[in-house]
A and B are shown apart, each in its own frame.
Chain A
Amino acid sequence: MDGKEHKLFIIAASVIPLLGVVAVMVLLWNRVFGWSDLVVLAVMYTIAGLGVSIGYHRMLAHRAFRTHRWIYDAFAVAGTMAAQGPAIIWTAHHRRHHRVADKDGDPHSPYHGGTGRLALVRGLWHAHLGWLMDEKLTSDPLRYCPDLARDRHLRWISRHFVAIVVAGMLLPAALGFALTGSALGALTGFLWGGLARIFILNHITYAINSVGHVYGRRRFSTPDESRNVAWLSLASFGESWHNNHHAFPRSASHGMRWYEPDVSALVIGTLRRVGLAWDVITIDRARQEARAEGLARAGGGRHAAHQPAAPMAERMVDPALTRTTGDVE
């Protein structure tokens, strides 16, 4: 699913949840926000949020760790429930973003052309949601993620995207019913854990792409405009340490200091300790500092050259194209 269908889905996914939020507010007018709604919202937000952060992003797009087949599939399904697009499409766009971040060809850079305040607002909108409305924008999975498209399970999960999203909205309804034993509980569970949850989580994720490339601190002078955004870190399960992430895309942890909370990294670390994840990619302090110094010398920002220039798929095939950048890619 991409092109027109993908666009229609994204519009539906951004508008219908908004109506859900309005419905939620109307219901709240007459009725106190029930404890069951809070539980359902928290549970579903965590499932879909970790599904995107650990599953789609760190595990699929960046291969930051390895795990058992069933956990792999479970994370991919959980990420699908976030309603941000099929796994294979999402990761293709995302790998392309890393390849040419904030330059021509980046699917969602806020530096979209022009200068001044209006261009910035327009750019922020484009990076946040506008890019998903572009029917012509496709990132070919054959080029950007043949490794994932080759996986039969991931193809199945991607093909059944809409069904899994719907299941992700029925689940909170069932949960609401189980907790309250009432039809009203099922309905508000659906509104909070389904619609409102999609709305909140998607805007947090999209804020990493918009805000996370404009406002915040830069530890590394990466050849892009990525930022570390502290205030988004808890809600995004650690995804907002986005400058760290652009410096070390394969690192399983995006937080790099004790004061950079990264719940996704804690979960991956726990999985590793109990033997459910292995080959977890970690970057020690010495490597961080070496890279920070190297990048500071080279100079960063969106006008700096990207290296290596070859697309990921091509480098995986032809070792001659692989430069000696280690596993920072």
Chain B
Amino acid sequence: MVTTDEVIKLIGKKIRNKSIELTAATPLDSLGLSSLQISDIVFEIEDAHGFEFNPVKAAGITTIGEIAELANETIAAGAR
């Protein structure tokens, strides 16, 4: 189970502006993350939880909450 908190912690390590408040609804575009940093975050979650995102769906992610959502969806589908 990937929690939004976990994703927020990962993102918090990457962004320079620490004053931005991170919630599930925060759009990724607003964080000033580079595409490289975003893929870092996405694939670090994969490593930690042992699953693989569907790249087509991953490319459609826009908010922090959606990362956790898609991760859990994928994990659940794999467990079935």
Contacts and interface: CB of A to CB of B under 8 A. Distances in A.
A and B part of one assembly? yes
Given A88-B36, A92-B35, A158-B36, A150 B59 contact: no
B33 to A, nearest CB: 10
A159 B36 contact: yes
A150 B46 contact: yes
B36 A86 contact: yes
B21 interface: no
Interface in B30-49: 34-36, 38-40, 42-43, 46-47
A149 B34 contact: no
Contact of B39 (A142, A314, A317): A142
B34 A5 contact: yes
A150 B43 contact: yes
B54 interface: yes
Q: Is chain B's interface secondary structure helix, strand, loop, or mixed overall?
A: helix
B52 A314 contact: no
Contact of B59 (A6, A142, A152, A158): A142
A149 to B, nearest CB: 4
Nearest to A312: B55
B73 to A, nearest CB: 15
B77 interface: no
Given A142-B58, A143-B55, A317-B56, A88 B34 contact: no
Interface in A300-317: 313-314, 316-317
A48 B51 CA distance: 35
Contact of A146 (B36, B47, B58): B58
A159 B38 CA distance: 12
Given A143-B59, A155-B40, A2 B54 contact: no
A199 B54 CA distance: 39
A61 interface: no
Contact of A159 (B40, B46, B54): B40
A127 interface: no
Nearest to A89: B36
Contacts of A3: 34
Contacts of B35: 2, 89, 92, 138-142
Of A138, A142, A318, the most chain B CB neighbours within 10 A belong to A142
Interface of A: 1-3, 5-6, 86, 88-89, 92, 138-143, 146, 149-150, 152, 155, 158-159, 313-314, 316-318
Given A140-B59, A142-B42, A313-B56, 9 more contacts: A2-B34, A139-B35, A140-B35, A141-B36, A146-B53, A149-B43, A155-B43, A313-B55, A314-B55
Instruction: Give 8 closest A-B pairs by Cβ, nearest first.
Output: A149-B39, A146-B55, A141-B39, A313-B55, A143-B59, A2-B34, A142-B59, A138-B35
23 contacts: A1-B34, A1-B36, A2-B34, A2-B36, A86-B36, A88-B36, A89-B35, A89-B36, A139-B35, A140-B59, A141-B36, A141-B39, A142-B35, A142-B38, A142-B58, A146-B58, A155-B40, A159-B36, A159-B40, A313-B59, A314-B56, A317-B54, A317-B55
